[in-house]
Amino acid sequence: MRSVEEQQARIAAAAVAPRPVRVAIAEAQGLMCAEEVVTERPMPGFDQAAIDGYAVRSVDVLGVGGGVGADDHDGRDVSLPVMALIEAGARTPSRLQPRQAARVQTGAPMPTLADAVLPLRWTDGGANRVRVLRGVRSGAYVRRAGDDVQPGDVAVRAGTIIGAAQVGLLAAVGRERVLVHPRPRLSVMSVGGELVDVSRTPGNGQVYDVNSYALAAAGRDAGAEVNRVGIVDTDPVQLREAVEGQLNRAEIVVIAGAVGGAAAESVRAVLSELGEMEVSRIAMHPGSVQGFGQLGRDRVPVFLLPANPVSALVVFEVMVRPLIRLSLGKRAPMRRVVTARALSPITSVAGRKGYLRGQLMRDQDTGDYLVQALGGAPGASSHLLATLAEANCLVIVPTDVDEVRTGETVDVAFLAQRG
């Protein structure tokens, strides 16, 4: 029986990140940048007003209202003629003469000789002449050219996950497109004569195809571009045609229901004609029996998962998700793991690493993590999808432990946040 870590290492060795592609910045969110984005011009590109107010020479308003430079101005009142209104986006250059002011909007270009902006609240708001109520220092409320970014600066570094701020910065430096690591394409299909799609009413002995929907959602959560193929006929000719079609369009293929039983044997026989496929028992539960191989001309990673939806989702989480994350260029493909104190006994299977459903909480007084196991004894309710839906973590029980007693600590992997 192979250990979880050995199987994960075998799978990780098959990871091949898709070739970087150049996409519009509006489509880059959530992807990893694959280039150093170097700015060609300063940002902002000109001196501009940081707030609404009046552009002035700071020397003309020294000491007003007991403010900056009060000793130099003898406390006298100052009023200045307003020579212009400069709006944001104004393109005509303007020049300020000594003892003049210009009304400016936020983002407006500063007139020549002006070195500060008086906030409106420090004036009487006059249109033709403005009374200054308080002085300002040179540079106050002005965004100088290049304050944010200078030419030659790296705006977005390779390896950075592009979020809202990065999209904004790319736009600010005038980049329409950016080179990124694309989402790996994942194809998900289910096999099983008992399956019907959710659009149909199951007859006697039939069940809904849960796996292709659940696993497709898990793939999207992991960051893949997912094609849910749905139910595939196990007729050898049709199955081979369906699988070959996905090998030509996907970087990863997942087939649920392809381990255990006579139907799975026929599936594996077809797949063995397309490349190396191994079904083995892994020292984990649930989902001990699973398959992995590399098929087709491009040796595409292909996973065979159990028919049990809970087992299939757990195997996907432990084995498939890390491969997707590696293909995205992530340096840390695994979920965040914390240590939590068990609120009740947790039973596991000796000799297998347990991945058990749980609810993770936090002690308000101590800040310690607490975990409540869901689902009861192993095997008794491994089929209950409802308890997995309630879980926000997987409790990871070591191979050599068959019971975690109340109050003992155990590793816990965060699942995606709900809500």
Burial label for 280, CB within 10 Å (0-12, 13-18, 19+), is: middle
- Beta strands 195-196; 207-208: pairing state: parallel
Identify the CATH number of the domain in which residue 125 sits. 2.170.190.11
Residue 146 has pLDDT above 90, yes or no: no
Could you give the percent of the chain with pLDDT greater than 90?
63
What pLDDT does 416 receive? 63
| Token representation of residue 3 | 């250990």
**Tens-digit pLDDT profile for residues 102-117:** 999 999 999 999 999 9
User: Between helices 262-272 and 236-247, what is the axis angle to 10°?
Assistant: 50
Domain span holding position 77 = 48-143
> Mean per-residue pLDDT for 86-111?
92
HEC per residue, 133-153 = CCCCCCCCCEECCCCCECCCC
Listed range (158-162, 206-210, 263-267, 370-374) with the worst mean pLDDT = 263-267
Give yes or no for a cis peptide into 44 (omega within 30° of 0).
yes
Total structural domains in the chain? 4
| Token representation of residue 146 | 């290049």
Determine how many CB atoms are found less than 10 A away from the CB of residue 370: 16
Could you give the percent of the chain with pLDDT greater than 70?
92
Highest mean pLDDT among 67-81, 138-152, 348-362: 348-362
Identify the CATH number of the domain in which residue 211 sits. 3.40.980.10
pTM: 0.74
| Token representation of residue 320 | 């498939």
Q: Residue 413: what residue type? A: A
Residues 196 and 297 in one domain: yes
What pLDDT does 70 receive? 43
> Mean per-residue pLDDT for 76-91?
88
Task: Give the end of a domain, one of 181, 199, 231.
Answer: 181
CA 326 to chain centre: 13
Give yes or no for a cis peptide into 333 (omega within 30° of 0).
no
Residue 74 has pLDDT above 70, yes or no: no
DSSP 3-state of 40: coil
- The CA distance from 229 to 214, in Å, is 12
H-helix or E-strand spanning residue 256? strand 252-256
Place of tokens 């403005």: 130
Residues 243 and 357 in one domain: no
DSSP E strands, 67-224: 78-86, 101-104, 116-119, 129-132, 142-143, 154-156, 177-181, 185-190, 195-196, 207-208
| Token representation of residue 347 | 């039973």
Identify the CATH number of the domain in which residue 165 sits. 3.90.105.10
At 192, the pLDDT band (50, 70, 90 cuts) reads: confident
| Residues 383/308, Cβ–Cβ less than 8 Å | yes
Residues 303 and 225 in one domain: yes
Residue 419 has pLDDT above 90, yes or no: no
Residue 236 has pLDDT above 60, yes or no: yes
At 379, the pLDDT band (50, 70, 90 cuts) reads: very low
Q: Residue 220: what residue type? A: R
Residues 292 and 370 in one domain: no
What pLDDT does 383 receive? 53
| Token representation of residue 250 | 């996907």
Identify the CATH number of the domain in which residue 353 sits. 2.40.340.10
- The CA distance from 250 to 240, in Å, is 15
Mean model confidence pLDDT for the chain = 88
